[in-house]
Amino acid sequence: MNVVRSIVSSGGGRAKLINVFPWVTSPLIVGAPMRVMSGPHLALAVSKAGGLGFIGPGAKPEDTGTDLKTVRELLKSATGTSFSGWSQNGEKLPVGVGFQLWNGDLDSAAKAVKEHQPCAAWLFAPRRGQEELDDWTARLRAVSPGIHIWIQVGTLKESVEAANSAHRPDVLVIQGAEAGGHGRATDGMGIMALFPEVADQVRDSGMLLIAAGGIADGRGIAAALALGANGVAMGTRFLASTEARISKGYQEEVVRATDGAQSTTKTMLYNHLRGTVGWPQQYSPRGIVNKSWQDHQAGVPFEELKKLHDEAAKSGDEGWGPDGRLATYAGAAIGLVHSVEDADIIVKRSQNEAVAIIKNLQNDL
Amino acid sequence: MNVVRSIVSSGGGRAKLINVFPWVTSPLIVGAPMRVMSGPHLALAVSKAGGLGFIGPGAKPEDTGTDLKTVRELLKSATGTSFSGWSQNGEKLPVGVGFQLWNGDLDSAAKAVKEHQPCAAWLFAPRRGQEELDDWTARLRAVSPGIHIWIQVGTLKESVEAANSAHRPDVLVIQGAEAGGHGRATDGMGIMALFPEVADQVRDSGMLLIAAGGIADGRGIAAALALGANGVAMGTRFLASTEARISKGYQEEVVRATDGAQSTTKTMLYNHLRGTVGWPQQYSPRGIVNKSWQDHQAGVPFEELKKLHDEAAKSGDEGWGPDGRLATYAGAAIGLVHSVEDADIIVKRSQNEAVAIIKNLQNDL
């Protein structure tokens, strides 16, 4: 197993991503498509900073089209940036879009992609595995030739299936168990062990590899690159961005919480309290624990928790926090997030940190 | 939070480790003190290769003294290496020794340390938390002035307690949930998120930081250094070393197994089948699953599993493997371990890989 050779070849991969997305700067930071919270303002801000922002799935399938339209409008006023004039020249939009397949609507997705031409589509959580990913990939490529297809995986099996598919994606997003929001329920693993094993198994596929989960600053970025990633996706860090489409109470809790191992957990409880049902059983979300979880652990019946949850939901921003009861999906790296900042600052500082770390490592050798 | 500054200061830390252990080469690879399996031959081979090998706890407390005596004898014949003449000049032994506190014996440990003077002691799994770690630290430092005290932790809380102790250790080994053997049962976390948060919280303590868990080649080493580690500890990788004190069937299973997320799990089942009881409840071991686990999942009663286990134990090397029933403690990075090699080869190749990766990252910037 020639590990070094694989790293050299992934260096070539990084160059390829820069060819596909000419505005991105190295190391590549991707804004993950967090449902609702990654809206058009956040996605475009990440791209403007030299990253690649993804819009998350909306509350309704039609919201994706609305959000992409907003990006198009925002671009009209993007004078003085690398995107000035972008919307006029027929190129694809400099943001991607995420789809949650199990409850998504392919017709609606294809319509939005065809009309607005996002540069990439990130597919996640199929009910029927690779077959369903293939359906989406084929359809989106048909309506938008050249669209970059990204597939998010959390297991070796999914990775190999994607690599072997006739509708192989361009990019595999390998998500470690540290990640916030929905990931693998019981068969996930920390990115330190998961990423290299997946990379070895899909090496010959030509797919580019993005690492996700537990990455919130330049240290995680440099570490992911060392593992062989072509770039990283960050979610939780962007929850604490000015541009995130997020309630203030939720965002403040992301900033407040520390000790990600202790204060986050994977559970379906919050989904069920919110009335979200139907996620395929292989997925479960990570979130910050609060009174709902503590009471659940103490044996309080679900009906009572639901009543208290729904009351909390009416209390606005008070509903979040250690004494709150609302779902606060976030990753295990919350302890590295200390303030709300502009996405631009987050991207550029994280890149600079990663670059400085790599230079220091080189000097230390 | 100046992440870059912390990296620069940890660069200084690496220099300090080289001062303490003058034979080590950069990046520092530590051979973890795996119970019984990390014997004197493995520990010394790791150190001879430029790493730092630890002897693991033995089956009985007295075994530690016996193993250290063996190191001393092996050193007499270490002519032509950096250790030739070592045992004659009164320096500490170039290997460390690990102690499992909850069932350890401090009198016996102090006697072995006083008599044989290992360069470092790695303390793990106290029943009474930091207070017990303090007792051991004070006693070992008393009988062996200058001994380097390492404490293995898996949570932020333990890390901060160690940093604030009057008997602060010299080194904190931060173990991610990917690790094999015993680690935190339910409050562990992947090293990607755990390490940076701990590092931020203990930054001013002066402790050096070693990353452990899920690291099995140069990629993991380079990634850990990027996170700010002063070095890495590897366990599972050395199970597949020529010098490991391990049954052939066990070792072959470590080489065979792939897909660490799927084929390993954390469970007390194998402890109980072996008759090992008494581990404090905050700990649980990761191991490769086999028939015992599958049958347990299928509802086979413990008494039946125990009977089948004990029969398997009589079958020698046949007792391990996918159709076996014996405990096969190993980490989630088993998918990166493909052959049994000399510890010397493992250390040097892993170091070379890490160096090449760092150089490539620098060139890619």
Tell which residue, A298, A296, A306, has the closest CA to residue A276: A306
Q: By the 8 A CB rule, do A95 and A55 touch? A: yes
3-state secondary structure of A286: strand
Tell which residue, A263, A205, A201, A193, has the closest CA to residue B179: A193
Q: In the beta sheet, which residues pair with residue A181?
A: A286
Bigger pLDDT: A22 vs B1: A22
**Is some CB atom of chain A closer than 8 A to the CB atom of B297?**
no
Q: Which two tokens stand for residue A355?
A: 């670059």
The mean of the pLDDT values for chain A is 94
Q: Which residues of A touch B225 (CB under 8 A)?
A: 226, 361, 364
Query: Which alpha helices (H) appear in B203-324, and where do they start and end?
Result: 218-227, 236-239, 248-256, 260-263, 269-274, 291-297, 302-313
* Cβ within 8 Å of A, B 116-145: none
Residue B101 reports pLDDT greater than 90: yes
CA distance B317 to chain A (A): 27
The mean of the pLDDT values for chain B is 94
Residue A80 reports pLDDT greater than 90: no
Q: By the 8 A CB rule, do B125 and B283 touch? A: yes
Delineate the domains of chain A, giving CATH numbers in brackets.
3-247+338-364 (3.20.20.70), 255-333 (no CATH)
- With a CB cutoff of 8 Å and minimum separation 6, the contacts of B207 are B162, B163, B168, B169, B170, B171, B172
Q: How confident is the model at residue A316 (pLDDT cuts 50, 70, 90)?
A: very high
pLDDT given for residue A87 in this prediction: 61
Residue A81 reports pLDDT greater than 80: no
Q: By the 8 A CB rule, do A318 and A324 touch? A: yes
Q: Which residues of B touch A194 (CB under 8 A)?
A: 260-261, 332
Place of tokens 């590549």: A28
Bigger pLDDT: B86 vs B41: B41
> Inter-chain contact B260–A218, Cβ cutoff 8 Å?
no
- pLDDT tens column, A222-249: 999 999 999 999 999 999 999 999 999 9
Q: By the 8 A CB rule, do A274 and A254 touch? A: no
pLDDT given for residue A3 in this prediction: 53
Cα–Cα distance for residue pair A26/B360, rounded to 1 Å: 14
Residue A11 reports pLDDT greater than 50: no
CA distance B154 to chain A (A): 10
- pLDDT tens column, B105-148: 999 999 999 999 999 999 999 999 999 999 999 999 999 999 99
pLDDT given for residue B321 in this prediction: 97
Tell which residue, B5, B76, B35, B133, has the closest CA to residue B329: B35
> Inter-chain contact B363–A11, Cβ cutoff 8 Å?
yes
Which of B192, B236, B288, B358 has the most A C-beta neighbours within 10 Å, making it the best mutation to test the interface with A?
B192
Cα–Cα distance for residue pair A244/A234, rounded to 1 Å: 13
Residue B259 reports pLDDT greater than 90: yes
> Inter-chain contact B197–A260, Cβ cutoff 8 Å?
yes
* % pLDDT > 90, chain B: 89
Residue B10 reports pLDDT greater than 70: no
C-alpha of B19 from chain center? 22
Q: How confident is the model at residue A5 (pLDDT cuts 50, 70, 90)?
A: very low
3-state secondary structure of A267: coil
Of the candidates A196, A219, A362, the beta carbon closest to that of B3 is on: A219
- The mean per-residue pLDDT over the stretch A268-296 comes to 97
Query: Which alpha helices (H) appear in B228-300, and where do they start and end?
Result: 236-239, 248-256, 260-263, 269-274, 291-297
* A221 sits in which H/E element: helix A218-227
With 0-12 / 13-18 / 19 or more C-beta atoms within 10 angstroms meaning exposed / middle / buried, residue A298 is exposed
pLDDT given for residue A111 in this prediction: 98
Cα–Cα distance for residue pair A229/A195, rounded to 1 Å: 8
pLDDT given for residue A356 in this prediction: 97
Which of A192, A232, A267 has the most B C-beta neighbours within 10 Å, making it the best mutation to test the interface with B?
A192
- The mean per-residue pLDDT over the stretch A282-292 comes to 98
Bigger pLDDT: A76 vs B251: B251
Q: How confident is the model at residue B3 (pLDDT cuts 50, 70, 90)?
A: low
Place of tokens 């062990």: A193
Residue A13 reports pLDDT greater than 90: no
pLDDT given for residue B119 in this prediction: 97
Reported in sequence order, the residue ranges of A264-342 that DSSP labels E, i.e. its strands, are 264-266, 283-288
Q: In what order do the strands lie in the sheet with A264-266?
A: A181-184, A283-288, A264-266
- pLDDT tens column, B299-326: 999 999 999 999 999 999 999 999 999 9
Of the candidates A3, A335, A356, the beta carbon closest to that of B217 is on: A3
Please state which of the ranges A297-311, B84-98, B197-211 shows the lowest mean pLDDT.
B84-98
Strand A181-184 and strand A208-212: the pairing is unpaired
